[in-house]
Amino acid sequence: MRLLFPLLLYCCSVQAAADLSQLRYLTEEYPPYNFSSEQGQVSGFTIDILHLVWREMAVEPQPIEILPWARGYYLLANRDNVVLFSTARTDARAPLFQWACSLGTLELNLYAFKQTAPRLTRLDDAKRLVVVAVREDVGEQLLLSHGFNPALLVRTSSLEQAVRVLSSGRADLLSSNRLTLVSTLKRQGYEPGMMAPLLEVSHKPLCFAFSTGIPAQLVSDFQAVLNRVLSSEEGRRLRQKYFDEETLLSVP
């Protein structure tokens, strides 16, 4: 009887590893959380955290696909075996998927280049302007939930494209997460200080989103290991590596 409990733990661990290896892991270009490195590899804070979770759960490293956000979100909603990250957990999205949180906080703001920034004092002031956002991203969805006119939203497949739309003058404002925008501007050769945060839209946790067809116990096991990884010394070192320098563009 003494061997029964360790044996059950081992069997559960083996089963969890087998189940996690059957999932499809999807992400997007969303630095510093997840992005393509210059060597063509998938990198970022969330990627490194995921590898630590796999290691703790005895899962061999799995393929990670980088897709346009709208495509990844569609697959999450319409397939039974998808994990999409880093995904903002909003009130509207919460009942649609299963979640393992939190990788950090999405600080969603409206931005403009300083030389062309309009004067805004409240969110309603921005509703008369053209705003660019990534298609199906939380930056678009939350604006719509706040009553922004869909006809005044320019939708792109990536934040890099959204920055180009703003710099070309085809939009007045850009909706984005602060940390991701800072990293994206640097990668595109812009000085982040050229852009100003004008209004805060929302704060939401960033998470792993799981298809509803994935066993709930597997998601719960993943969450428990994620908690341990995030609070570990390795997790703290990863936060310092990816986030310590990303301190610009905060709304006053």
Mean pLDDT confidence for 102-126: 94
Q: Which residues, listed in sequence order, are joined to residue 42 by a DSSP beta bridge?
A: 36
| pLDDT at residue 247 is higher than 60 | no
| pLDDT at residue 5 is higher than 90 | no
Contact 35, 158 (CB under 8 A): no
Residues 117-146: tens digit of each pLDDT: 999 999 999 999 999 999 999 999 999 999
| pLDDT at residue 2, rounded to an integer | 52
Average pLDDT score, the chain? 90
Q: How confident is the model at residue 3 (pLDDT cuts 50, 70, 90)?
A: low
Tell me, what amino acid is at 74? Answer: Y
| pLDDT at residue 99 is higher than 60 | yes
Question: How many Cβ atoms from other residues are within 10 Å of residue 70's Cβ?
Answer: 17
For the entire predicted model, the pTM comes to: 0.83
Residues 170-181: tens digit of each pLDDT: 999 999 998 899
| pLDDT at residue 18, rounded to an integer | 54
Question: How many Cβ atoms from other residues are within 10 Å of residue 77's Cβ?
Answer: 16
Q: Which residues of 213-222 are buried (b: 16+ CB within 10 A; e: fewer)?
A: ebeeebbebb
